Structure formats: structure tokens, C-alpha cells
Amino acid sequence: MTTAAHFTAALRDRQRLIGYWSLLDSPVAAERLARLGYDYLAFDAQHGLFGYQGLLNNLIATDTRGSTAVGMVRVEANDPTYIGRALDAGAAAVIVPLVDTAQDAADAVAAVRYPPHGRRSYGPMRAQLRIGPNPADTHEQTAVLAMIETADGLANVEEICATPGLDGIYVGPSDLRLAIGGKTSTDPDVADDFERALTRIREAAEAAGIAAGIHNGDGASAARRLAEGFTFASVAADVVHLQQVAAAHLDAAREGGRS
């Protein structure tokens, strides 16, 4: 079973990591996914269908026997309460959305670290079973990632990446494409500007010596971004893949019936 310490060390060392993105509150699905070989499962508390109990249950399921993955959470907002609860539930890393400035990134770091290095409140209810419980051990084993997905975040990416204590950045491609002028989250008309933005973000992370991650719709896209120099990549997402596979089987059954 992959430990939080092993995962966080690999992340900070800019080793290649691959994760799966979950929007559905299904601990049984998480338990199955955790055994496939992914390095992490990311549970989306910002746009996903999780209440706190669901988040807790899915993190527990990720730590199942035979798991290769740790649990990661995209929190609802850059807020000490949301960040602290995700970590207390056992997340090995948090992705903090809508980070626009270095100060935003510093606030996220402070919410992850205990005093005197930050302002996280002590109460690792479940996390103490697997992460910590001593503050020094917890700091060693948990990671904080800032999302780069806004026009301000892109403009300030070098300063954000240089924030002391920040372990990495994570690109939200849909919001980023909108931020640079896309009419939709997949607008091809801004493809060149989008690629230039990704290069800038990736190079800023590399210069700062921190991890650089990105969200992807499929494994082939994740492989492309890793080959370009991103250090970790998520494949998204369970609700989309469920629909795609179900539709493909339906089409196959209908075509077979006609023949």
C-alpha cells in the first residue's frame, strides 16, 4: 500500500505520478479504483457530489487493502475550515482552487501547516491513524497544491510557484481556457494561447523546483502532458467515463441487434 509519506516525497521530488479524478460519492467505486495502480485518487469537493461524510467514506475506501493510491481532495475554497477538515479526514494532499496571488498561495500553505509554521487547528480525527499524528510528521507527509486557473493566477504564476512551503501547482484547463478568452471550456480558437499558458506554468514550476500537475479528460492526454514536462496528471472523471462506456455498450448492442 502506498503511504502518504512515500507519495508526498515522490511529488516533491517531481517524480511522475498519475491519478484518477472522482466526482461521484461511491466508496465501493473508490475501493476498486484504488487497486488499479493509480498513485492517487482525487475527490472533488468543489464541483463533485460529496458531502463531508461521503468525502470521509471515500478516503477510508481508498486506504483499502491492496490499494496503490493515496487520497487527495480538491477543497471547496481557500479556507482553513475546508482545508483542515479534508486533512483531518485523511487526505494526503489538498488542491486549493482559485489561487490568484502569492498571498493566496501563502494562505493555503498556512492552512495546511500547524503552528508555528501555519494556522491549522489540531484535531486529526482520522488522519492520526495514517498521517502524523505529530505535527512534524504531518508536515512531512501532507502536500498543498495551488490551482492555476484564472487570468490573475496566470499573470502571477512565477510568484505563486515561489511561495515558501508550496508543494506544487495544478492546472484547471477548463477555467484557464475561459480565463484567456475562450468562449467555451474547450474553445479551439484559443488553442495556441492556451498552449503558451501551459508552457509558462510548467516552466514556472520547474524553475521553482515544485510539482506541476494538470487535469486531463483521458489517459492519452495525460501521457502527452507528462511527456511535455508536467510531473503529475489526473485522468478525469468517473461520472464522464461511466456515461461514455455505457453509451458505447448501448451503441454496440443496438448495432448488433440490427445485424
Active site residues: 47
The answer for 26, left when phi > 0, alpha when psi is -120 to 50, beta otherwise, is: beta
DSSP one-letter string for the chain: ---HHHHHHHHHTT--EEEEEE-S--HHHHHHHTTTT-SEEEEETTTSS--HHHHHHHHHHHT-TT---EEEEE-SSS-HHHHHHHHHTT-SEEEE----SHHHHHHHHHHHSPTTT--PPS--TTGGGTS-SSHHHHHHH-EEEEEE-SHHHHHTHHHHHT-TT--EEEE-HHHHHHHTT-SSTT-GGGHHHHHHHHHHHHHHHHHHT-EEEEEESSHHHHHHHHHHT-SEEEE--HHHHHHHHHHHHHHHHHHHHH-
Distance, C-alpha 50 to centroid of its chain: 15
Is residue 211 within 8 A of residue 9, CB to CB? The reply is no
